[in-house]
Amino acid sequence: MGALVGKTVLVTRAKDQAAPFSAKLREAGAIPVEIPLIAIREAARPDALAALATRLGDYDWLVFTSANAVRCFFPYVSPSQSLPNVAAVGRKTAAALAEYGVAPALVPDDFTAERLAVLLAGRLRRGARVLFVKGDLARPVLPAMLREAGAVVEELTVYETVPDASGREQLLSLLRARKVDVVTLMSPSAVTSLVRLLGREAAFLLSGTAVACIGPVTKDAAEREGIAVQICPTDYTADGIIRAMEQYFSMEGTRMTLPFDRHRRLRQTAAIRAMVRETHLHVDDFIYPLFVVEGSGIRREVLSMPGVYHLSLDRLPEEIDDIAKLGIRAVMVFGVPNEKDEVGSQAYCETGIVQRAIRQIKAQHPEMVVIADTCLCEYTSHGHCGVVENDQVLNDPSLELLAKTAVSQAQAGADIIAPSNMMDGFVAAIRRGLDEAGFVNVPIMSYAIKYASAFYGPFREAADSAPQFGDRKTYQMDPANRLEAFREAESDVKEGADFLMVKPALAYMDIIRDIKNRFPLPLVAYNVSGEYSMIKAAAQNGWIDEKAVVMEMLTGMKRAGADLIITYFAKDVARWLAE
């Protein structure tokens, strides 16, 4: 006998769509009870749909993410109408297309809008026209991802999903009498309707009753509403959810009445926790920033950054020896010159403070990777990252000086150039300058995504680089923006960047993960001065455990997707890792 034999299964699909699923349940021996939670009604005007159907040739792709969209759209399409390429989110949608004699050119393997968007984006040319036929509750992820890929997406809403309360009394009666073995939920809208119908009694009424969701999107919606989900198939189809229910009930005699997973088994001891730890910090992950200054005998602590120092060149060797002994293999050099001018000439001077520091470090420890921060703000009298005219930072004239700076740093021996200025086209200009000067093998670590952040305050004291007028919001990014980060990164990749960086890190871990998912280059997170100083201040006041907080924060950055982390904590962490 099958595991579903005699089990009462609540079918919550729309009234005119429940019968096929109920038939499959009967074949498995279950007792289906149909109580629709939602209803589908057409949303588009028939004349508008008919007119649109005659010009489908204007589009390169026709995209459907539900069978309902197919059935509300294709009755208006003539069988003789020539169609563009058609994409369907999964087998159910593809089957609905087959009812109209249409074979989709693209069906993803895991039936999600995200996967469909990734596959389709790889086939689109920039400017391709896409018609996305959808319901009113369709998630925005697919059109957003296609637009990011350069497509022109037109969205057409052909149906609305509305709550159906007609079976409320029957639903409440069955759940109160404990006569339902499993509730099936086939969409987030069904979840919303169920919660609305059950009200405050939802948790009580569903306790002891298994809840089965068609896939992870619906499961997430249910769990956000506080509904515990016991069943979710890996095959997001009616057959898949029936198989998952059969598997669940086949284990009925081997578990408690209220089933749950015992995740704590893998947390019992420190040794077990270490065995299953997913993210690890290594000393090779870290880049340590250095601030070099003119003069002699200087090792002066930055007041707002305890443990960080201004170092003159004669005091630099002891610092570099200490860094090397700790196993840190990379440093980033910032310079603080005595003299500044309107065009930041010390930035590209052969005898500039950074150029001398680079030569000295490479002579002392040739194996040390020296990364040169390439910007003008520390060297200009106005404190901005480029050429200023009439209180405006000029983009293109700044590029020439930035390329000149990068070449001078490479000539001094820098292993990596790290431009942080955020001028449009800076990677292309610097790549061309390096190549023309013979430094074709010197990589560029681009500050690709650099926000106009409030977390930079202590650094500006350390580097003496605060703007003397205005701010940097016309060239650094708005902290509220996410999609802009993708455009910035894409531009830098096309222009020749070898690394991408996100700065700051702590408040932008979502961006770190986004960039890691989209681009194959090594990703750097800059754990900036404000993040450092907040922790130092709290630790000095005894409010937090500095080591525990720092290790948790940096682990979070690496878990988010960072391959490398620029951090003022690098020396501290190297010591802690060696303990």
Active-site positions read 450, 503
Are 29 and 6 within 8 A, CB to CB?
Answer: yes
Are 386 and 395 within 8 A, CB to CB?
Answer: yes
Are 288 and 334 within 8 A, CB to CB?
Answer: no
Q: How far apart are CA 445 and CA 443, in angstroms?
A: 7
Q: How far apart are CA 119 and CA 107, in angstroms?
A: 9
Are 395 and 403 within 8 A, CB to CB?
Answer: no
Residues whose CB falls within 8 Å of the CB of residue 240, separated by 6 or more in sequence, listed in order: 214, 233, 234
Q: How far apart are CA 29 and CA 542, in angstroms?
A: 64
Q: How far apart are CA 369 and CA 561, in angstroms?
A: 22
Are 539 and 546 within 8 A, CB to CB?
Answer: yes
Considering only CA atoms, which of 493, 517, 480 is closest in space to residue 121?
Answer: 517
SS3 string, 84-114, reads CEEEECCHHHHHHHHCCCCCCCECCCCCCHH
Residues whose CB falls within 8 Å of the CB of residue 140, separated by 6 or more in sequence, listed in order: none
Is the N-terminal amide bond of 504 cis, ω within 30° of 0?
yes
Pair of tokens at residue 31: 């007792």
Are 307 and 319 within 8 A, CB to CB?
Answer: no
Half-sphere exposure of 304 (CA within 13 A, CB side): 15
Q: Which residue has the tokens 């069943």?
A: 231
DSSP 504-561: S-GGGHHHHHHHHHH--S-EEEEE-HHHHHHHHHHHHTTSS-HHHHHHHHHHHHHHHT
Q: How far apart are CA 149 and CA 518, in angstroms?
A: 11
Q: How far apart are CA 328 and CA 320, in angstroms?
A: 10
Q: How far apart are CA 399 and CA 387, in angstroms?
A: 9
